[in-house]
Structure 1
Amino acid sequence: MSLINPADSLERQNEKLIRIAASLMRHVEHGTAQSGEAYAQFERAALLEKRVRERTIELERTLNLLHESNSQLARANDETEDARRNLADAIETVSEGFALFDGDDRLVMCNSRFCRDFRDTVRDLRPGLAFAHYVERVSRSRHLFLPEGISAAEWCAERLRKHADRRAMFNVRHGQDRWLQVSEHRTANGGTVVLQTDVTDLIRLERQERLKLKDKQTRMIRATLDHLDQGVCIFDEHGRLVAWNEKTGTLLNLPARRLHLGASFAGLLERVEQEFRFSDAGDREAFITWAALGGHRGPIHFELMRDTGAIIQVFGRGMPDGGFLFSSTDVTAEREAARRLTEVNEMLEARVMERTLELEDALSAAERANASKSRFVAAASHDLLQPLSAAKLFISSLSDRSQSPGDRAVLDKAESALTSAEQLIDALLDISKLESDGLNFDIRPVALREILGPLRDEMEVLAARKGLRLRMVDSSLTVETDPSYLRRVVQNLVGNAIRYTAEGTVLVGVRRAGGAARIEVRDTGPGIAEDDQSAIFEEFHRLDSGASANDGLGLGLAIVERACARLGHPLGLWSEPGRGSCFMVSLPVLGSVAPKRAASPTPARPAGLAQAGLIVLLVENDPQLRRAMTVLMESWGVNVIEAENADGALELLQDLEITPDALVLDYQLGAGMSGTQLFGEITTRLGRLPCVIVSADRSVALREACDGLRIELLSKPVDRHRLGRFFDAVVRGGIVAV
């Protein structure tokens, strides 16, 4: 039970408590009984008074807070109103039309310049106006100039579509040639700010600049046409002349009164026909039909001829706007030069034919002489060697019997001279055999240690006499070759290295390179200059002109080159003056190529090639290998046309104007074109020819590419027997796998 009603106000509750307290005080003071109960009531009254006083203080504090909040709210309202007035003033000072729509596309505020140019819509611009209603009222304004063919409803729909974008900017025409640029921007809360800017001056200035530019371009085009060395006429889609240059009148013999703006194409053509005739009777009708076509026209060209001999080339082309133009060029001098060039070519061809016949006669005579020389050397060598051998025996007998040192020195010199003569005859006989068509090689598996071992024992004595160190690295490889000729090749290379090396080492070793074994003979001699590296393989050529006959006859390297060419073993050379030389011979390792029969000797040249007269195009970028293959094929009686790269081969075929019987192409030619690509280019020009690709690449991809082109693949080092079988198949007229 409460002494006061909680629903009363604080002032009423305080008043009641004061009255209760006074009554209790009077009762205590005047009461006859001072019982404990009365005192307790007094204490409760005092407590109630304390609580009333606390509630009163809290009430006063709450009232103060309420008064302070009301003051702050009043100040905030004043500041908000000031900010709104400042914003409105600021927007009003903007030189552009400004309007703000909220997130619900309702107008919040705008300045007086907004839609000022659409005066009949201003009265509807009130806060709360929907954006769609604003656009609809503008579209119906009589001050709005709608684009041609666009209705007010269509303009309104397009305007609302642009409003859906976050940013939009476009131009609107109003009044007499006046323009507004309207731009829209989204606010952070989804509202829209619309700005209207008068861009009339900018558009007019841009229009003036465009007209100036167009006029400048017209002058530039006119100047360009006047400076052309060709006659140019431009017609519109109706066949009326709109532009031309003075060269047109000069070339087509047209008077100035004929060339005027608006002149008809038919009239000009009639005038041209009075002075010229078409080189082809059908060109006139084709030209008239082409000019009458509408829309897109393809190019057309023909020639006009005059009785004086002048020739005018005419080229026509359509233009995107339906018009057309044609140019005329005087090609009289070019046609006359071409005619004279044709006459010169015919004369040169006749001379070339005469020279070819003379060369064929000379070649036949040289071949007969060479064959006669080879037969003579082969026949004479045996007769010469017999007495030389006997003379050496007699001298050896005299040397054994003679006791005088002087006599022995004379006999040793005589024996040395006879030995040199014997070596010369042996070398000449070897060269004669290598150049002979009837030479047979004994091709069979040969262990390289069987060649290198005996040579080491033999050549170490020669090296020791000169104070050189001869080092031969043993090899376990087995190759396919003629052992006697391979021994002669290596012997000549080692002997040559020892002969021209003054001090140091001669090293002989074998490197494995894929399916080939490369024998290398290195020395520390004086080296060979690049200009002399081809000449050293010529007969009787020695770089040391002061050397005696005992120092070499100049036939060793000639024998090496011919033997390697006939055996199909590529021969290489690296040398640098002052650093020494390295001769390299590559041979097929046993098992890297298809097995061959070793029972019978293999002929040195394929049968029937000498009589076939084959012409073969050889394209190989390595000069040493190209030389070796050329010597080999020419020894078979094959006529070789050789080139270093694809461009040179194509130019050579074009200049000679012949079609070879077969193609031997290296795969990696450099210069961006491979052997297979060159084969495709030659096939396009000359038709399909028998072809073999030569490459050290043994990848499956290359094999599949050659199979797809139906051409043969011959791996390096080149197997002369497989190459010979390819030529045999060409002669027989059917290409088989080599």
Structure 2
Amino acid sequence: MTRVAAPPVDAELAQLREENRKLRKINAALIDRVERSSDMAGSAFSMFETAITLEAMVRERTTELEDALGRLATANADLAQAHASADAAQVRLRDAIASINEGFVLFDAEDRLVLFNDAYLGFWPEIADQVREGLLFEDVARLAAAHRRPLGAALAPDRWVSDRLARHSVADGGHVQALADGRWIQINELRTSEGGIVGIYTDITEVKAEDARNRALELAERNLTLQSTLDNLSEGVCLFDAQGRIAAWNDALQHLLGLPDDWIQDGADHAALLHWCRDRMAMDDRGCLDWRGDRPGDPVQALVAAGHRHFELRSTTLDRGGQVIGFTEVTDMLRAQATLQETAETLERRVADRTTELRAEVAERREIESQLRDAKTAAEKANLSKTSFLAAASHDLLQPLNAARLFVAALGDRRLALPTRALVNQTSTALDSVEDLLEALLEISRLDAGAIQPEISDFRLDMLLGTLRVEFAPLARASGLTLDMASDALWVRSDIRLVRRILQNFLSNALRYTQQGSVRVDCAADAQTIRVSVTDTGPGIAADKQALVFEEFRRFDTRAGGKGLGLAIVKRASDMLGHRLTLESTPGRGSTFAIELPAGEAAASPDKGPDSVTRDRSMRGLNILVIDNERAIQTGMRTLLGGWGCSVLTAGGYEDAIALFEPGGAPDIVLIDYHLNDGETGDVTLDRLRAHFALPVPAVMISADRGKELKARLDAGGTPLLNKPVKPAQLRALLRTMLK
């Protein structure tokens, strides 16, 4: 509620009261003097005359006093009416300001807050109880920056305050400001005739969103037109922007070069295409594929070879930066020419010398055998290079996916409109699909590269099946299926992680492809092996297709979803373990996938004592330090953890982290990425932080590295490891566990 100070007491009223007091005092003194005085000369007439004079003077003074009092009463009435008019005008002004949708604020010539409405406070809910009349604008700006309300203040509060004060002092128009909660406001500030500043704050979030949608639609239409044009070309074409990123391509390019279906998701750019052509295809491009997108020049054209194939390359730079590269295969044309020439030479050699022809044929066969050996070696190298590339690129692939999952999870925790929440849920589902595909590809690459080595031990099969029952029972109920699992206390000898992965894929496929009925897990034991089978009542698999289901990207019923990689992982894992896989299926009656595991030796199971159950503790108010060299990850973590009630500080490395705390201060928990800038690693940085704080601060390491060496090193130090992309539910459960 706004206030207006009352005007000062009228000076005329005070002056009249003072004159009245003096006249009364003079009157009393004169009367007293007349009563007490005596006529020393004995003149009674002189005394009478003096009294008459005094009476006239008193009457005159009294008349003046009555006039003054009349004027005073009139002035008081005018003053009361003026006060009433001012109060009414003030009430009308407050009502008018409160009724407008925009935020309204008024500062006087000394830049002190005079008037504001509730809509203005709505932009700063965290500091609403601290905003009051008389507060300087600089104090209001610093309060907003201290609570990270404006988006710019979240990274550099002091700089934001300085820029805001400079813009406020000019007050010559409007500017746009982004808030940390995702809203956008337009601030219009103008000076008043008395030297003050009046500000109007308007929420333009929807306008911004509509503008972004229009720009996206326009860009999509342009891209569609360009893509249609490219797809109608017979030659392979790709367009790179000024930074070397892929901007457009056509299917002919992918077909001619044999690019994988997901090459775009693997970070396609000019360097990746150059690597594919030169290293994977052994293409001698003669420099035609070199990057020229940052400098103008004439088109470059060359006829090059790539193994047994030949291409005509044409590279053109764009005026505004970027490069267009075209591929036209001329193998058949050159081969036809070579065949004609070879036929002519062969006829000549046959006529001239049959012996020379035979020697030429022998030499040709040897050359073909040599080329076949080289091709086989190149294929093996290419496969190994693919595996190594996927394993090495996992960090860069999972970084943006990790940031996206954090932002989506943070959005899911907010109160959103139903259409917006539906979009968030669809985005989360899409991210789950990308994550599943990426995880499967990385797991296949690690299996191919031999990065996963079995760890053989004896374990109880029924306990493993119990965890799988807990995992898949909700999915079965949601699909209206019955899930039955064996519970015999059987011991097997194998790698528990790989066996769990195999059975997970069996169950996942069975539940995905079964529309009604049941899914059953049975165990059959003999003297040396235990056969674990998963039987469903799904559509079944035809006999001629059963051998193909264990290949990558094989899906015979696309309506059920999936990526066609689960059974490929099963095949590789079972081959590594040396376990026999079987498949029995009848179309229309269901399928049974089974694996035979060696029997194991029974061992004592560790008991959990009563001390293992502890009391949970809320995360509200928890001070968390997030260290990551990616700003997007920092923002996503701050948004997600802030939504859980945590207090979050972010840093890019050790020096940034220690600068956030006063001497003696330390965070409650540290979330730190393993790969930081300039070769800095999370474990070394964590040791330095603990030495600096002189405290064993709890920490969680986050990394896309799934190697056993890193996990073993962190386990030895008691530091838990989360793999990217981080699942919010998994992170929350781990934090709660650490707080117990």
Q: What TM-score range do you get, normalising by the shorter chain?
A: 0.3 to 0.5
**Structure ID, larger Rg:** 1
Q: Which has the higher contact order (CA 8 A, sep 6+)?
A: 2
The alignment's TM-score, normalised by the length of structure 1, stands at 0.34
**TM-score normalized with structure 2 length:** 0.33
